[in-house]
Amino acid sequence: MPLILVPTPLGNLGDVTRRAIEALRDAELIVAEDTRVARKLLGALDIGPKELWSYREQNAAAVTAGILERARNANIVLVTDAGMPGISDPGSELVAAARIAGIAIDVLPGPSAVIGVAALSGFPLRRFVFEGFPPRSSSARREAFARALGAEATTIWYESPQRIAATLADLAAVAAEAQVFLVREYTKRFEQQVLGTPATVAEALAEPVRGEIAFAIAPYALTTEAPVALDLETAIDELLAKGLPVAEIAKRLTRLGMGDRRTLYERATKRKRANNTPLP
């Protein structure tokens, strides 16, 4: 029998899939991060009482063997409080143990804040990295951001409402002009979306900050190389004068840490038109 990972709605119950409902109805045992949350979900979906076991970081070592033993002869469903099990929530270690034990595993597609925020950001996604939660200490956060930004890929992060202000301040200390897209309470009634630098995003958040938070950082190449000019428009004009196409200008200035490529492309395009230079 399979162990089935069932993603649950992040906030809007309408995001639950038919397959998820069927899997929950057919389950002989539901393994849940929080059994109280699971009971509420089952009630909202008009699914009758189910046998529920708790599976979380604190008790995983004690209950894994029992879950796998049941999975040999019963339909077992794993759910977390919201979203895809295993993504910054319990589940990945149980999947690894099930594979070693030769137990079939199925993962249903469904809600994931990682993918939703990435798509909403509009940042380049040919390559992106989910970084999870930033470290708790300021120095460790700054090191983590510097390392992640050095990869020149869009990065996706989660953060608690209690630490988001300090986290954005540390990001600003590393890359003040980086472009950040933050979503608070994704898919919920009071969802908030903010795009801008770390400082402008922080200013847009009401105090005290409440709700689930995820944010994306656009590719932003950190460099110790001095910019070609302190003024962005001057830098663009100098490169235009050399006959470089707009795309190449955006690429070069991104590498110099003067912003994200999309914004720089737009700025360079405007400067090219303002200078009455034909676009390539």
* 14/226 Cα distance (integer angstroms): 51
Statement to judge: residues 150 and 57 lie in one domain: no
Q: Counting every residue, how long is the chain? A: 280
Asked whether residue 100 is domain-assigned, the answer is yes
Statement to judge: residues 202 and 260 lie in one domain: no
* Tokens encoding 149: 């930004």
Runs of H (alpha helix) within the chain: 18-26, 35-44, 60-71, 92-100, 113-121, 138-149, 164-174, 198-204, 232-241, 246-255, 261-274
* Tokens encoding 255: 């590498």
Statement to judge: residues 130 and 59 lie in one domain: no
Coil/strand/helix, residue 119: helix
Q: What is the CATH number of the domain that holds 180?
A: 3.30.950.10
DSSP 40-54: HHHHHTT-----EEE
Asked whether residue 279 is domain-assigned, the answer is no
Q: Is-contact 217 248, C-beta < 8 A?
A: no
Asked whether residue 280 is domain-assigned, the answer is no
Per-residue pLDDT of the chain (280 residues; tens, 9 = 90+): 789 999 999 999 999 999 999 999 999 999 999 999 999 999 999 999 999 999 998 999 999 999 999 999 999 999 999 999 998 888 999 999 999 999 999 999 999 999 999 999 999 999 999 999 999 999 999 999 999 998 889 999 999 999 999 999 999 999 999 999 999 999 999 999 999 999 999 999 999 999 999 999 999 876 544 343 446 888 888 888 888 898 988 887 776 657 777 888 888 898 888 876 555 5
- Domain end: 83, 107, 131, which one? 107
Statement to judge: residues 237 and 143 lie in one domain: no
Statement to judge: residues 102 and 117 lie in one domain: no
Q: What is the CATH number of the domain that holds 70?
A: 3.40.1010.10
Statement to judge: residues 156 and 130 lie in one domain: yes
Statement to judge: residues 53 and 124 lie in one domain: no
Asked whether residue 209 is domain-assigned, the answer is yes
At 91, give phi and psi (nearest 5°): 150, -40
Statement to judge: residues 204 and 250 lie in one domain: no
Domain count, the chain: 3
Tens digit of pLDDT for each residue in 211-264?
999 999 999 876 544 343 446 888 888 888 888 898 988 887 776 657 777 888
* 3/78 Cα distance (integer angstroms): 7
Statement to judge: residues 10 and 81 lie in one domain: yes
H or E element: which one contains 30? strand 29-32
Cα–Cα nearest to 80, from 72, 69, 88: 88
| pLDDT for 255 | 62
Tens digit of pLDDT for each residue in 118-130?
999 999 999 999 9
Asked whether residue 23 is domain-assigned, the answer is yes
Asked whether residue 184 is domain-assigned, the answer is yes
Asked whether residue 45 is domain-assigned, the answer is yes
Statement to judge: residues 20 and 83 lie in one domain: yes
Range of the domain at 22: 3-107
